Amino acid sequence: MVWSPDQHALSGRVAVVAGATRGAGRGIAAALGEAGATVICTGRSSATRNIRSDYDRPETIEETAELVTELGGTGIAIPVDHLDPEQVKRLAERIRADHGHIDVLVNDIWGAERLKGAPPEWNTPIWDHDLDRGLRIVRLGLDTHLITSHHLLPLMIDRPGGLLVEVTDGTKAHNETNYRISVFYDLVKVAVNRLAFSQGHELAQHKATAVAITPGWLRSEMMLDSFGVSEENWRDALKEDRAGDLPTAPSGFGSSESPRYVGRAVAALAADPERARWNQESVTSAQMAAEYGFTDIDGRTPDSWSEW
């Protein structure tokens, strides 16, 4: 039997996806929309307000909100720079006025994909690493999450059952024993797992849950562009006889996943009445697929972490 989302699983629920412009954030917002949620999509890349982004990319939060609505939810786009506490405070005030409460908060804010550098720049020791770039990686990957939780979690803990999802790269177990790209990148990705643990400790007394989740090899818009393919023909990146100067993807790319896969993991967690059993855990999208039985958009259940 082909799996399909339950379009009413999250009807009446209000979710905030902070960092919903592209990549995992867009995939999570879309999957919450598939399940019928109202999804507030925030980020800097907007068609209506000019907020400086670290990326020169065409995607916008308005496009994400439209996708949420097309899939059966209600998408709402609100431009926010999550490094600015005043902007996040105003976001919280608007949500309180418009919705009164949030059921799910997803901290997917990042924005440092280019700052981390290309593979030839990886493994640069801290004394040779550009300090300004490194510190901005930390600010984009950690300060944003802390600021957002500070202002938005009060909207979630006013009633039992809330879910906080911290999105990172690598599980706690993996990151504890593997160096990740640079001291700065490594610190951020380890720390986000710990954020879920520490916030879960604080949320438990309010009968709310915090979980850290990592996608596998993600076919984000930037990743697809790097191989000159789209979601529709991504397997062409594995062909060795590629035309022109297009790079050939490593064989591991065959186990990559669409952003919707990690999104469906978040939606499954949100719909689980026993989600508190996951409090403070660090999980993968594939682990959640095995637990809840969902698939990626092509019907597969990829698990790239099992190959690394």
Same domain, 111 and 72: yes
Same domain as 109, residue 80:
yes
Report the C-alpha gap between 148 and 154 in whole angstroms: 11
Query: What is the pLDDT averaged over residues 263-290?
Result: 98
Number of domains in the chain: 2
246 and 159 fall within a common domain? no
> What would you report as the CA-atom Rg of the chain, rounded to the nearest whole angstrom?
18
Contact predicate 165/266, CB 8 Å: yes
Q: Is residue 201 part of a domain?
A: yes
Q: Does 246 have pLDDT greater than 90? A: no
Q: What value does the mean pLDDT of the chain take?
A: 96
Same domain (yes/no): 20, 148 = yes
Measured distance CA(228)–CA(233) in Å, rounded: 10
Residue 269 falls inside a structural domain: yes
For residue 237, tell me if it sits in a domain. yes
Q: Which of 112, 48, 131, 46 is nearest to 81 (CA)?
A: 46
pLDDT digits 0-9 by tens, 271-281: 999 999 999 99
b/e 202-228 (16+ beta carbons within 10 angstroms → b): ebeeeebbbbbbbbbbbbbbebbeebe
Residues 43 and 159 in one domain: yes
Instruction: Encode pLDDT of 91-124 as tens digits.
Output: 999 999 999 999 999 999 999 999 999 999 999 9
Average pLDDT of the residues in 138-148? 98
Question: Which domain CATH number covers 26?
Answer: 3.40.50.720
Confidence of residue 1 (pLDDT cuts 50, 70, 90): confident
- Asked if residue 151 belongs to a domain, the reply is yes
Residue 150 reports pLDDT greater than 90: yes
Residues 214 and 100 in one domain: yes
Do 47 and 157 fall into the same domain? Answer: yes
Task: Considering only residues 290 and 246, tell me which one the structure prediction assigns the higher pLDDT.
Answer: 290
Give residue 18's pLDDT band: very low, low, confident or very high (50, 70, 90).
Answer: very high
Domain check: are 237 and 289 in the same one? no
Domain containing residue 298: 14-218+258-303
* Beta bridge pairs of residue 43: 79
pTM of the model as a whole: 0.97
Q: Are residues 159 and 242 in the same domain?
A: no
Identity at 40, one-letter amino acid code: I
pLDDT of residue 130 exceeding 90, the answer is yes
Which single residue is written with the structure tokens 């944003």? 144
**Residue 23 belongs to some domain of the structure:** yes
Domain shared by 163 and 246, yes or no = no
Distance from the Cα of residue 23 to its chain's centroid: 7
Does 7 fall in a domain?
no
Query: pLDDT at position 175, please?
Result: 96
266 and 131 assigned to the same domain: yes
Q: What percent of the chain is predicted at pLDDT more than 90?
A: 94
For helices 144-152 and 183-203, the axis angle rounded to 10 degrees is: 20
- According to the model, what pLDDT value does residue 243 have? 74
* 226 three-class SS: helix
pLDDT digits (tens, 9 = 90+) for 170-214: 999 999 999 999 999 999 999 999 999 999 999 999 999 999 999
Residue 293's pLDDT band (boundaries 50, 70, 90)? Answer: very high
Please compute the mean of the pLDDT values over residues 44-68 and round it to a whole number: 94
pLDDT of 2 above 90: no
**Is residue 67 helix, strand or coil?**
helix
* Domain contains 1: no
- Kindly provide the b/e burial profile for residues 88-97, where b requires at least 16 CB atoms within 10 angstroms of the residue's own CB: beebbeebee
What is the arithmetic mean of pLDDT over 80-96? 98
Residues 95, 210 within the same domain: yes
- Of the pLDDT bands very low, low, confident and very high (cuts 50, 70, 90), residue 241 is confident
Q: What is the pLDDT of residue 300?
A: 96
Instruction: Flag whether 118 is in a domain.
Output: yes
Q: What percent of the chain has pLDDT over 70?
A: 100
